[in-house]
Amino acid sequence: MKIAVVGTGYVGLVTGTCFAEVGIDVTCIDIDQKKIDNLHNGILPIYEPGLEEMVSRNVEKGRLHFSTNLSEAIKGCDVAFIAVGTPPGEDGSADLKYVLAVARGIGENIDEYCVVVTKSTVPVGTAAKVRTELEQALQKRGASVEFDVASNPEFLKEGAAIDDFLKPDRIVVGISSERAEEVMTKLYKPFLLNGHPIIFMDIPSAEMTKYAANSMLATKISFMNDVANLCEIMGADVNMVRRGIGSDARIGTKFIYPGIGYGGSCFPKDVKALIKTAQENGYDMQVLRAVESVNDAQKSVLFDKLSRHFQGELRGLHIAVWGLSFKPKTDDMREAPSLVIIEKLLAAGCTVTAYDPVAMPEAKHSLGDRIAYAKDEFEALIDADALLVVTEWPDFRVPNFGVMARLMKQKAIFDGRNIYEAKELKELGFTYHCIGVKTDH
């Protein structure tokens, strides 16, 4: 089989590489010439564990190609994936201009039957718009080429993207013809051999499934953050409450960790987009509106704790920040809580030294030299009045607290991810604050 993946970002590059890995001939296309040039030189635009080796292996095997030339790459393809960004527009709705531009480009160039699949996260009704773009483009060139549209939302998690793609919990495909179902079944067959299910459905349901999934996950996070905040007020320990409720199989243990709010390129924008879709159709997603406002507030929780600890006297303090990316094992800084926290620290007159194992180059795009960047987690602590743990990178899990105590000016830790034991730190003379536990000692 031969496929094209248009848009070579997180999703497009992982998708294309994983299909090449199972023997399919893949061309990844992007309009960003520099990105494609870099890929030709083995330089990846993103950090994702294991991806670099997989890309180079498949390029060497001649199964994975990179190009800016859509018209050439699309010729003879069985499937064309659209994997470009769908950022929020000013009103929160998903901006479809990139998706529809690609659809037009495909319509201007296909020469034989092809299934055009939206992998980007797109609102219900987008596949119909993609179909119209294609039809109009074909009409313009007086061509009559058969095609199908399909929706195949992506559920990969940054940081575990390859495993998620190769061993998916499920593959959701929205189709409207048997022919498209056959092509998509053939394409995904290698991933289904170990029992990973493919779920075919109508296209609007597939489009909605992605938003419902991300919104449910965001809801779990905001719910637990709300519970955590109340635990603190009432003198309960959210870590125990989490274990207590997670053992109920109907609730489950996953994704019920309190923290400093969700970020990243997906949850914030997808929650916004679903609220907007509902509004446009006369329905109010009340739960999701609350999810969003709880999350906005939660991003300030760590700063507020710091401010309370120093009785609002933050000017001139030097703060160490561990972790910048919105979650571990990625360099993605989009909507990262660290950005909100650091802006607040700077506005309050603090100086900041940060360390992140991979996200510092990305962070520099928005923070520049307004903060200092350390070469490792310990250097960040030198003369710090407090440490804020923002991202739970494995590197930070079991640090040498003795060394930390010697490096810091004041032994105060604000743990936004609940990775340390309050009792242990108290014994070592640290002041320790975390989320959802009353630990003011």
Does residue 168 bind ligand NAD (CB under 6 A)?
A: no
132 labelled binding-site residue: no
Near ligand NAD by CB under 6 A, which window of 150-158, 164-172, 365-373, 407-415? Answer: 150-158
Amino acid at 405: A
Q: Give yes or no for residue 9 binding ligand NAD (CB under 6 A).
A: yes
Which of these segments, 79-87, 252-260, 283-291, 370-378, binds ligand NAD (CB under 6 A)? 79-87
Q: Which residue is nearest to ligand NAD (CB)?
A: 9
Q: Which of 22, 31, 166, 346 binds ligand NAD (CB under 6 A)?
A: 31
Contacts of 180 by beta carbon, 8 Å cutoff, 6+ apart: 115, 148, 149, 150
Taking alpha carbons only, the member of 308, 302, 306 closest to residue 323 is 302
Please, which residues bridge with residue 414 across strands?
A: 388, 433
Question: Could you tell me how many residues of this chain bind ligand NAD (CB under 6 A)?
Answer: 26
Please name the residues in contact with 287: beta carbons below 8 A apart, sequence gap of 6 or more. 219
Q: State the CB neighbour count (10 A cutoff) for residue 199.
A: 12
Residue 6 sits in the site that holds ligand NAD (CB under 6 A): yes
What is the DSSP code (8-state) at residue 107? Answer: H
d(C-alpha 156, C-alpha 242), whole Å: 25
Q: Within 10 A of 376 (CB to CB), how many other CB atoms are there?
A: 10
How far is residue 235 CA from its own chain's centroid? 33
Region class of 389: left (phi > 0), else alpha (psi between -120 and 50), else beta: beta
Residue 121 Cβ vs ligand NAD, minimum distance, rounded to whole Å:
4
- Rule CB under 6 A: say whether 85 interacts with ligand NAD: yes
Closer residue to ligand NAD (CB): 154 or 292: 154
307: part of which helix (H) or strand (E)? helix 301-309
210 is an annotated ligand-binding site residue? yes
Active site residues: 266
Instruction: List, as residue ranges, the binding site for substrate.
Output: 155-158, 210, 255-259, 263, 327
Residues at the site binding ligand NAD, with contacts judged by CB under 6 A: 6-12, 29-32, 35, 83-86, 98, 101-102, 120-121, 154, 156, 158, 265-266
Annotated binding site for NAD(+): 30, 35, 86, 121, 158, 269, 334
Annotated binding site: 30, 35, 86, 121, 155-158, 210, 255-259, 263, 269, 327, 334
